[in-house]
Structure 1
Amino acid sequence: MSSPSDAPPGKYLPQFGTPEHKESLVRLRSILLDKAYEGGMNEGWVDAWQHGLVPWDHGGIQPPLRELFESKAIDFNVPRSGRALVPGCGRGYDAIYLASLGYETVGLDLSPKAVAAAEEWKASQQPPPTSLSFIAGDFFKVDAGLFDIVYDWTFFCAFPPEVRPAWGKRMGELIKPGGYLIALAYPLDGDRKGGPAYSVSIEAYDESLGSGWTKTLEYVPTQMSEGHEGREKVVVWKRV
């Protein structure tokens, strides 16, 4: 498969940092505050998609993910085969990219509307990837089997701190021994209150995962989306 395409600039969300973008964040947080994190997930994400409130949608593959797999300067030698999961996949840009690398990929999102949008974006690729499926379901409950790679971006940061241990436990259930968790740790905002996106730290990921993991990579990417400068790291853990 050829390299996946990105969406035209501004196709799916207001430009980063504009008043329209900031307003969409305020409206998103209001919707989520009206819902409870029952079992770990918040049904407000379904409502957000229904209202077209997707301020995290940057219109394409996250640059640090592409850099991780394509830069010769990064020592990340993992097999380009096996199963990959992208929870909170949204429109599916990163899931499509992983499928293009040779992984049998599953994109998972709580919102059926997000999954429909991902299927539409998948169909627009030339040619559409065949080793890719999208599922509407609850990350904490869905039965999707075991994975060699799970990729987390704007997923961990969607949960308030009290839900993070459940996230870590679930990652241990989904990733095979010897498999990898790839996280774009964002936003690294120190002690900033409120969310989403809730402020994160590398220590918060470590604590949530607990024992049974070895950190194999941690670095600041040279390629980032607008507004992520100084607020993002790539971290990879291997399940032992």
Structure 2
Amino acid sequence: MARYYAYNRQRKITPWDTEWRGTVSERRKSVGSSCGRGYDPIYFASALGLEAFGLEASSIAIEGAKQLIGTTPELASKVHIEAADFFEYKVADKDKFGLIYDYTYLCTGNLSLHVLLIQHSQLLRCNTSFQARPLGTQMNSLIKPGGYLITLMFPYVPNSPYSTGPPFYSNFDSYAEVLGPGWEVVFDRIPEDAPPAGNRMVVWKRKFE
């Protein structure tokens, strides 16, 4: 997956990079997994006043994000783009996030394993060894109780899941199973006017223990 990702980044073949920005209600601090060129962290910081963190594996995408942030210097202190493995990312309890935004990240892993397959620390060098880490465990470790997880499911296949990929299918039941208990759905909609086609947006609220 990473080799495919880096190859297409180098050639600017990025159909997943539509420059579309989602909208959310205000929270103090947010993080986006696999943030690409940083459109969403920039949106969260500029429109909502959040301190936004974007995690990205591709050095090409990171450079593009930094260039984009450079066009709005007033956001430099609010938007942070980090080269990081999402599953290795750790924060102290006091620094847990009130919001995480996931767009197309789940489709990189085979949901039949109930895990997201992601390359380890050598991802930027396109190493081909993979590790499996539970997605739900990491979401619970990063989002504080009462915090929100925005999932824009793509490609969304409600009734005909497929196991070949990437990209792998995504639907509500598969995501709920990966997250596990402890989450409440507070928003669920299939957008009619947001590219690309085949999305479903679900917002989950982490329950207080």
TM range (shorter): 0.7 to 0.9
CA deviations on 1:45-89 (whole Å, 9 max, x unpaired) are 44553454433111x133xx23xx3xxxxxxxx4x2411000000
Deviation at 1:156, TM superposition (A): 1.1
Contact map agreement 2:20 2:194 (CA 8 A) in 1: no
Which of 155, 169, 176 pairs up with 1:206?
A: 176
2:17 aligned with 1:57 = yes
Aligned to 1:158: 108
Deviation at 1:159, TM superposition (A): 1.6
CA deviations on 1:115-167 (whole Å, 9 max, x unpaired) are 11111111123754531100001000023441100000011112222224711
Q: For residue 91 of structure 1, what is the amino acid of its counterpart?
A: R
Hey, what's the Cα distance between the residues in 2 that align with 1:222 and 1:125? 30
2:147 aligned with 1:179 = yes
Hey, what's the Cα distance between the residues in 2 that align with 1:185 and 1:85? 17
Aligned to 1:93: 39
Aligned to 2:85: 138
User: Secondary structure of 1:200's partner?
Assistant: coil
Q: 1:94 to 1:148 in 2, by over 3 A?
A: same
Aligned to 2:29: 83
Hey, what's the Cα distance between the residues in 1 that align with 2:76 and 2:82? 15
Q: For residue 153 of structure 1, what is the amino acid of its counterpart?
A: Y
User: Secondary structure of 1:211's partner?
Assistant: coil
TM, length-normalised to structure 2: 0.79
Q: For residue 109 of structure 2, what is the amino acid of its counterpart?
A: F
Aligned-pair identity in percent equals: 32
Contact map agreement 1:86 1:151 (CA 8 A) in 2: yes
Q: Which runs of 5+ in 1 are unaligned?
A: 1-31, 33-41, 70-77
Deviation at 1:217, TM superposition (A): 1.1
Hey, what's the Cα distance between the residues in 2 that align with 1:50 and 1:160? 25
2:69 aligned with 1:122 = yes
